[in-house]
Amino acid sequence: MPWLAKMQSNPGDIRILLLLGYLIIMSLIGFSMMGIDKQKAKRKAWRIPERTLILIAFLGGGPGSLLGMYTFHHKTKHNKFRILIPIAAMLTLYAAYKLIQRVGIMG
């Protein structure tokens, strides 16, 4: 893996990998929060505020939130979510692509 050798010689690349790790963790959180909120909705329990779900998506959890929306069939009829969550996912995926490109993992 030539990109790994390149990374070891450049500490800035390690920061980029940490940022990628952050985006992965945020996506897992976004996915989980959609599932948790769906279960709470079914039990008519206290819910996660909509603004929190959207904030998590825009803080890097967009792909996971989008996947969670459709996996759990949660918030799929709300226009606010149908518009904002895909935008957050696209922004996150673009940022991840640029970070990966910078490290040289992909062309």
| pTM, entire model | 0.85
| Cα-based distances in Å from 17 to 34, 60, 94 | 26, 14, 15
Q: Are 85 and 57 in contact (CB under 8 A)?
A: yes
Question: Residue 57: what pLDDT?
Answer: 98
Residues of the chain falling short of pLDDT 70: 1-12, 105-107
pLDDT of residue 101: 85
Q: What is the identity of the amino acid at 85?
A: I
The two tokens of residue 91 are 């922004």
Q: What's the pLDDT tens digit per position in 72-96?
A: 999 999 999 999 999 999 999 999 9
pLDDT at 17: 84
Measured CA to CA, the distance from residue 80 to residue 85 in angstroms comes to 8
Per-residue confidence (pLDDT) for residue 15, from 0 to 100: 83
